[in-house]
Amino acid sequence: MKKRILLTSFDIWLPHQQSNSSDDLLIEVGKLNSLVYDLTFLRQLPVDGQLASSQVQAKIEVVQPNYIILCGMAESRKQLSVEKIASKAENILQTTVDLEQLVAKATAIEISDDCGKFVCEHLYYSVLDYLRQHQLTIGCIFVHVPVLTQENFGGIFADFLLIVDKLALL
Encode pLDDT of 107-126 as tens digits. Answer: 889 999 988 878 999 999 99
| Number of Cα atoms under 13 Å in the Cβ half of residue 123 | 32
Q: In the CATH scheme, what architecture does the domain 4-169 have?
A: 3-Layer(aba) Sandwich (3.40)
Q: Against a cut of 0.75, is the pTM above it?
A: yes
| Number of Cα atoms under 13 Å in the Cβ half of residue 85 | 9
Q: Average the pLDDT over 63-90 and give the result.
A: 93
Backbone angles phi, psi at 27, to 5 degrees: -60, -45
The span from the CA of 126 to the CA of 21, in Å, is: 22
What are the residue boundaries of the structural domains of the chain, listed by start? 4-169
The span from the CA of 129 to the CA of 169, in Å, is: 24
The span from the CA of 82 to the CA of 144, in Å, is: 6
The span from the CA of 148 to the CA of 158, in Å, is: 13
More confident residue, 103 or 33: 103
